[in-house]
Amino acid sequence: MTFQNLRSQSGVRQAPEVTASLLTQTFAWMFAGLLVTAGIAAFVSTNPRVIDAVGNMLLPIFFGQLILAIGIQAGIRRLSATAALGLFFVFAATMGFTIGLIVSLYTGQSVATAFLSASAMFGAAAVYGYTTKRSLTSLGGFLFMGMIGLIVASVVNLFLGSNPLGWAIALIGVVIFTVFTAYDVQRVTYGDYVRVTGSVEKASVFGALQLYINFVNIFLFLLRLMGGRN
């Protein structure tokens, strides 16, 4: 999980051809990032020695991912589109190690079920964000506060180890990042990310990062709710 760059929308859609091009690029980079993550995760989850190594380095890897994601978002205007894309793929690759470790704890059927469910929820939210006439701008502040609360609760539960609290966090997490998906897709459609980054190319990378984070979080939270442990 990471912070999202929240900025008010203009409420006006871009020209259809610009929107189509931007959405195509955004989802193409997002899916490419997911393929990188999935490939590395599959390698990690089937290699006990790699799992042990990742487990021993999990905390540094996590903070490295957090710094990298925030760095991309904070520095997107100063980075070139190529540099931003390269950093996005580095982030996606490192996520493969942590996700590989996590999915190794669950049965293959659980992972497949959580992935398919996450895909369905993400897809439905993305379609809603693209087609709805309602402005989702007002949700930004609530989503941001909800995400901060989610992070704090997750940290607290690391010490408490409460299963009921863990389930509640997972359920709320699914809701927050599903709504975030609709919110982010609408921001792409309205050209908000073009204004944030200064170019269509960088906007597609920025949007891909946001949507990638949303999908991964939906998947991991669903896996926590639905997964059967090995």
pLDDT digits (tens, 9 = 90+) for 18-53: 678 889 999 999 999 999 999 999 999 888 888 888
pTM higher than 0.85 for the full model?
yes
17, pLDDT greater than 50:
yes
Contact between 159 and 207 (Cβ < 8 Å): no
Q: Measuring CA to CA, which residue among 121, 139, 127, 124 is closest to residue 189?
A: 127
3 state SS of 68? helix
Q: For 131-190, how does the pLDDT look when each residue is reduced to its tens digit (9 = 90+)? A: 988 888 888 788 888 888 888 888 787 777 778 888 888 999 999 999 999 999 999 888
Amino acid type, 141: G
3 state SS of 80? coil
How far does Cα 145 stand from its chain's mean position?
17
